[in-house]
Amino acid sequence: MNKNAKIYIAGHRGMVGSAIWRQLEAEGYNNLIGRSSKELDLRNQQAVEDFFHEVKPAVVIDAAARVGGILANNNYPYQFLMENLQIQNNLIQSSLDVKVDKFIFLGSSCIYPKLAPQPLKEEYLLTGSLEPTNDAYALAKIAGVKACEAIRKQFGKDYVSLMPTNLYGTHDNFDLKTSHVLPAMIRKFHDAKLDNHSSVTLWGSGTPLREFLFVDDMASSVIFALENILPEYLYNVGTGKDLSIKDLALAIQKIVGHKGEIIWDSSKPDGTPRKLMDISKMHALGWKHQVELEEGISRTYGWFLANHDNFKEVKI
């Protein structure tokens, strides 16, 4: 890939997009393009079309999405379905219109059936029912995967989809109303630590198994896809290792330094029993994660401590 290639990163201010931007800059790419949501509303088809015809990027990385945890997904399914469809459809169609040859679409492991065999293989897509607490988001992402596959098949373009496991890291969302499980735990344990080590209540039973990938590793997988022609349309990205939510809570509690009690609210949903990614296809091509969970949590908490005074609560 030419280091002068014009690369548009949709969602460049988010956790994933900003990590991709930082790594591309570090690798010497010097023609990066980004627009904030105020500058360009990706839900607006005409605005996106105008932007693409003006800028004419050579590469598009779609790291833009409406995201959130179980609570947000469960309470706002229409927004999670419709806004994600609007964002990705506009980006994919405009990329095709201006002859973008390389498009990298980022999704989520929630595209796979709730009760699919473990670990999750790419071929399990559309073989069973989705997890109901986030099926709206999953359906939108599945549509994006299939759109990229169709363009690849029909037009011969290098459009590839990367499906990460649960992501976390610096620049994450720590708003307890909309955040994912790992940053939410960091926030809860930190707040409880300041509150004289008061008890922390966590959702569910703590028994579900989850896999977590540090965001810088996700960014490295995107650069790997950018710099190589991947032979298939869909690839899982993860560590290949999981742990229980209870063990995750204990690890975060130790790193944060919280000494209080953990209370598990079993009246709240657990979500999918297990989500472990089969990452053998990416490993076979030569990509592998570098940051292990304990180091990643420590780095994330360090960033949280340095920035938590600047956080703004997310309004839906």
Contact partners, residue 53, CB within 8 Å, separation at least 6:
94, 97, 98
pLDDT at 311: 64
Q: Is 14 annotated as a binding residue?
A: yes
Interstrand relation of 234-237 and 158-164 (parallel, antiparallel or unpaired) = parallel
Which residue in the list 137, 159, 168, 235 is annotated as catalytic? 137
pLDDT at 189: 98
pLDDT at 312: 53
pLDDT at 316: 37
pLDDT at 314: 44
Q: pLDDT, tens digit, for every residue of 247-299?
A: 999 999 999 999 999 999 999 988 778 889 999 999 999 999 999 999 999 99
Contact partners, residue 105, CB within 8 Å, separation at least 6:
62, 88, 92, 144, 145, 148, 159, 160, 161, 162
- In the predicted model, residues of the chain with pLDDT beneath 70 are 311-316
Catalytic residue list contains 8? no
CATH tag for 7-170+212-240+276-291 (out of 3.40.50.1360, 3.20.20.140, 3.40.50.150, 3.40.50.720): 3.40.50.720
Q: Is 120 annotated as a binding residue?
A: no
Q: pTM for this one?
A: 0.92
Q: pLDDT, tens digit, for every residue of 194-215?
A: 999 999 999 999 999 999 999 9
Interstrand relation of 158-164 and 212-214 (parallel, antiparallel or unpaired) = unpaired
Q: Please state the domain extents for the chain.
A: 7-170+212-240+276-291
Q: Is 13 annotated as a binding residue?
A: yes
Measured in degrees and rounded to the nearest 5, phi and psi for residue 161 equal: -115, 130
Q: Is 238 annotated as a binding residue?
A: no
pLDDT at 148: 98
For residues 30 and 32, give the distance between their C-alpha atoms in angstroms, rounded to a whole number. Answer: 6
**Percent of the chain having pLDDT more than 70?**
98
Cβ–Cβ < 8 Å for 6, 55: yes
Cβ–Cβ < 8 Å for 120, 112: yes
